[in-house]
Every structure is written in structure tokens, then in C-alpha cells.
A and B are shown apart, each in its own frame.
Chain A
Amino acid sequence: MEDNYFLAKWLNDEMTETELAEFIPAADFDQFKKIKNYTNHLKVADFDEAKVLEKVLNHKKANPQFIPMFGTGILKYAAILVIVLSAFFLTQNLVSDTQYAENGKKTTFSLPDASEVVLNSGSEIKYKKWNWNSNRNLELKGEAFFKVAKGKRFEVTTDLGKVAVLGTQFDVKARESRFDVTCFEGRVKVNYNTKEIILTKGQSVCFENGIQTNSQSENLQPEWLNNEIAFNKANLKSILGEIQRQYNVSITVKSDYSSDLFTGKLPTNQLDIALQIIAETYHLVPKKTTSNQIIFEGK
């Protein structure tokens, strides 16, 4: 009975006197009983509780430094779920969506308002799906054709300039230092540096190194949608750049670059013909080293 503290049990009325008598002699028991009885009438001095309480309440409450947000397990999981869902929602809508067209390929896609975009080879477009209908804004690198559904202001931003429309079809091309915009339907507003130009159906404008060139077109669509590229007073470098993007080839010129400008069309599905046209125009000889390596040499 080492850990059976029978006196404690008896004092706490968990054990009767008869039970206790089994543990201790009767003489001792009388004394324990006396102690129990007497200590039952002990008291200590009271104190002024009201005064203490007043003093305590006069202290300012500290600002909570830490408030546990999630007391119970289920709330914790609910919170995690909310966070995961909102992260998913944010990535889906707020983070920019990017569309690419690799070299040699074209990409067609629709915007949330059913506007259509065709990206020409080697181009990229960034936009936000979130709140699209009231904020139709795209960032373009390269060239793209837009068929814009009617609605609020639709903006295409490039490194070179900005195009804003209400509902129309137009083509924007921003390559190196040349910025081309062609309007196929409706009206298009073009901003280039400080200039602002309004294009109507069939009009196109080109800015290169601050020089503005206007032209007219009978087409209903940009030529590149029909496997052709049209050039209007383009230099050799930009023509070769376009060919490299359309056919996904690399072209080296082992001769001086001619400063002659080219106006005309090149096919985008027959590399040999396109190369032949360039060769004859600029008096060069094309050589294919591998299937996607072309060298132009001077005659």
C-alpha cells in the first residue's frame, strides 16, 4: 500500500472510518479525526477584493500580439482550400495569358469576347483574361491580324506604337524598327510617338525610323493569311527576317546588304520560289547547305 495515500482519501471523504481503521491503530485515528475537525474551521484574513479588482481594471489591455486565426481543424482545411482556389483563380485570370506562334507556324485563337487573333510566325501576344470585356488590352511582339468583336475600346500595344479600335479588322506588325498597321474594316487609330493617325478601310500606314509612309490596299485580309507576304518598300534585311520566320530557316548573306527597297509579294509555302525572287531582285545566288541553312552569295 505504498502509493495508497489512505489518509488523503479519508480526509477527502473517499474512505469511511471503518475502512481507515484497517490501516491505523484506534488511538492514532482519534487524533487524525481531531486534526480533520479542527482544520475544517481554519480561516485566513480576508482582503479587499474590490480594491484589487479596480487596480487591475485600471491597467490598459495590451494589443494582441498574436491571434490564432484558425482554431479548429476544419477551418484550417477550409482556409487552405480557399487559398488554393484563389491561387488557381488568380493564375487563370489575373496573370497574363501568353500566346506564341513559333517560326514557321501561325496561331489562331479567340479572346474572351469572341474577337479573333491570328498570330504570324515568330510572334507573341500577352493579355489578361480578368475583366477582359471592359479592359481590352493586348501586348504584341511581331505581327498579328485582329478581327475585333464590337465592344469597348480595343487596344494593341507594341514597343513601337499603339493601335486602338472599336470594332474592326486590322493587322499590326512591329518588327525591329518598322511598325506597320493595315485596316481592313471599320476605323483604326494609330499612335506612333506623338503622332496620331486614323485609318479607314483599305488604308495602311508604316513607320520606320520616324518616317511615315501611307498606302492603300484592296485586300480584305492580310496576305500572310493566304500564304503570301506582301512587302511595301521593304529593305533586304526585313525581307530576310520575314522569310526566316515564315520558313523557320536561317539565312546568312555573304555580301554587302543592298539598300534597294522591295515592293511585292512572296509565297510563304514555297521556299525555293521565295528565295529565287529575292535572288533575282538583289542579284544574289542562294545555296542550301542543309535543309534549313541558306547562304546568299554575291554574283
Chain B
Amino acid sequence: MSTVSLSEVCKESVFTAFFKNHAKPLRNFLLYKYGNEDQAEDMAQEAFIKLWQNCASVTLEKAKSYLYTVANNSSLNEIAHQKVVLNFENNFSGLDRTNQNPEYLMEEKEFKNKLLNAIEKLNETQRVAFLMHRIDSKKYSEIAEELQISVKAVEKRIHLALVQLRKEINI
């Protein structure tokens, strides 16, 4: 019954659990979109505040889509896109960990830089979908739900992102 889940979101324990599951992915989504960490954090915070304030009228099942709708809408009048600050995991050193050949290491470093630049050059929709999959390990269906588009559209964006990345790296 809806009245049960109505109060559920308002329960601090339920809300906290929900926050822990969704805060980082939401903030990351905003980060991929706008490239500014502070702004992404602020906007994620704003979306959660709105959810908290209106918890009585939002069911737990609807909370996630509520969150992303607020985030999507609030984005409109924000500042221009900045460079997405991405990094590789500290202990990640390419395909061949045993190869410490300086030439190989140079090549590897170069490839990493090219890849990051290529990601930066992707158009916004492709980059957001691509990074949500690669960094946040989301399923295409989840991405589709959050961006409020079809799974097919997500696949298209990912596919085109890969084509574009390879093209950019090879220049």
C-alpha cells in the first residue's frame, strides 16, 4: 500500500540507506555532464534536499527517478562545461604489468593521455552514458532509466562513443 512507502522515505534510516546507494552515482553523473566537482556535489545535494523535503509525497520506488528528474532539470541554467577530471586507478599500469621497458611505459602513458583527451572531446550525451557504464558499472537499463531515454538510445550513445574514441586516439 502506498501509505506505507509514503512514510518510508521520510524515515531517516531508510533515507540514509537510499542516499548511500545513490549519492555517488548521482554526483558522478553530474560530474560527467558538467565537469566541475564542486558544482556536481552541490547539485546532487540540492536534489537530495528536494527529495527529503518532499519525502511524504514520493514513494520509495519513485525516489530514484524523482532524484534524477530534479538533477536533470536543475542542470539547465548552470555554468558552462569544464574539463572532466578523470584518473586511472593508482596501481593500474596498462596491459602488461611485467613489462617495465621504458619505451613501453612511454607508449602506455601516451595512450592514457590520448584516451583521457578523447573522452573529454566526446559530446556530452555520449560521454555521460559511456562513463556511467565504465566508471559506475551501471547496466544499460539503469542508465536509460536515469537519463530518461530508451535502452536502444543508450546503446547507440555507447557505440558511437567507442567509434569516436578510437578515431580520436588514432589521429
**Shortest Cβ gap from B150 to chain A (Å):** 11
- Cα-based distance from A32 to B135 in the complex (angstroms): 17
Residues A12 and B94 in contact, CB atoms below 8 Å apart:
no
Residues A62 and B88 in contact, CB atoms below 8 Å apart:
no
- Mark contacts of B29-51 with chain A using CB atoms, 8 A cut-off: 1 yes-contact digit, 0 otherwise: 00100000100010011001100
Residues B133 and A12 in contact, CB atoms below 8 Å apart:
yes
Residues A28 and B166 in contact, CB atoms below 8 Å apart:
yes
Residues A71 and B158 in contact, CB atoms below 8 Å apart:
no
Residues B52 and A59 in contact, CB atoms below 8 Å apart:
yes
Q: Which residues of B contact A5 (CB under 8 A)?
A: 152, 155-156, 158-160
Residues A66 and B89 in contact, CB atoms below 8 Å apart:
no
- Cα-based distance from A45 to B152 in the complex (angstroms): 30
Query: Contacts A8-B156, A45-B85, A71-B2 known; A35 to B115 CB distance under 8 Å?
Result: yes
**Shortest Cβ gap from B37 to chain A (Å):** 6
- Mark contacts of A1-18 with chain B using CB atoms, 8 A cut-off: 1 yes-contact digit, 0 otherwise: 001011111011000000
Which residue from B3, B85, B152, B158 sits with its C-beta under 8 Å from A7?
B158
Residues B162 and A47 in contact, CB atoms below 8 Å apart:
no
Residues A56 and B133 in contact, CB atoms below 8 Å apart:
no
- Cα-based distance from A66 to B135 in the complex (angstroms): 38
Residues B89 and A31 in contact, CB atoms below 8 Å apart:
no
Assess whether B55 is interfacial by the CB under 8 Å rule. yes
Residues A52 and B134 in contact, CB atoms below 8 Å apart:
no
Residues A11 and B162 in contact, CB atoms below 8 Å apart:
yes
Q: Which residues of B contact A211 (CB under 8 A)?
A: none
Query: Contacts A44-B31, A45-B37 known; A3 to B152 CB distance under 8 Å?
Result: yes
Residues A41 and B88 in contact, CB atoms below 8 Å apart:
yes
Assess whether A64 is interfacial by the CB under 8 Å rule. yes
Q: Within A19-77, which residues are at the interface with B (CB < 8 Å)?
A: 28, 31-32, 34-35, 37-47, 49, 52-53, 55-57, 59-68, 71-72
Residues A35 and B44 in contact, CB atoms below 8 Å apart:
no
Chain A residue at smallest Cβ distance from B19:
A53
Residues B23 and A52 in contact, CB atoms below 8 Å apart:
yes
Residues B57 and A66 in contact, CB atoms below 8 Å apart:
yes
Q: Which residues of A contact B31 (CB under 8 A)?
A: 44
Which residue from B53, B85, B163 sits with its C-beta under 8 Å from A62?
B53
Residues B2 and A7 in contact, CB atoms below 8 Å apart:
no
**Shortest Cβ gap from A19 to chain B (Å):** 15
Residues A52 and B135 in contact, CB atoms below 8 Å apart:
no
- Cα-based distance from A45 to B48 in the complex (angstroms): 20
**Shortest Cβ gap from A39 to chain B (Å):** 4
Residues B48 and A56 in contact, CB atoms below 8 Å apart:
yes
- Cα-based distance from A280 to B85 in the complex (angstroms): 120
Which residue from B87, B131, B133 sits with its C-beta under 8 Å from A11?
B133
Residues of A at under 8 Å CB distance from B? 3, 5-9, 11-12, 28, 31-32, 34-35, 37-47, 49, 52-53, 55-57, 59-68, 71-72
Using A42-B131, A52-B48 as known contacts, list a sample of 17 further A-B pairs with CB atoms less than 8 Å apart, ordered by residue number in A. Answer: A3-B152, A6-B159, A8-B155, A9-B155, A38-B115, A43-B86, A43-B87, A47-B37, A53-B16, A55-B49, A59-B49, A60-B53, A61-B53, A63-B56, A64-B54, A68-B2, A71-B1
Residues of B at under 8 Å CB distance from A? 1-3, 6, 10, 12, 15-16, 19-20, 23-24, 27-28, 31, 37, 41, 44-45, 48-49, 52-57, 84-89, 92, 94-95, 111-112, 115, 119, 130-131, 133-135, 139-140, 152, 154-156, 158-160, 162-163, 165-166, 169-170
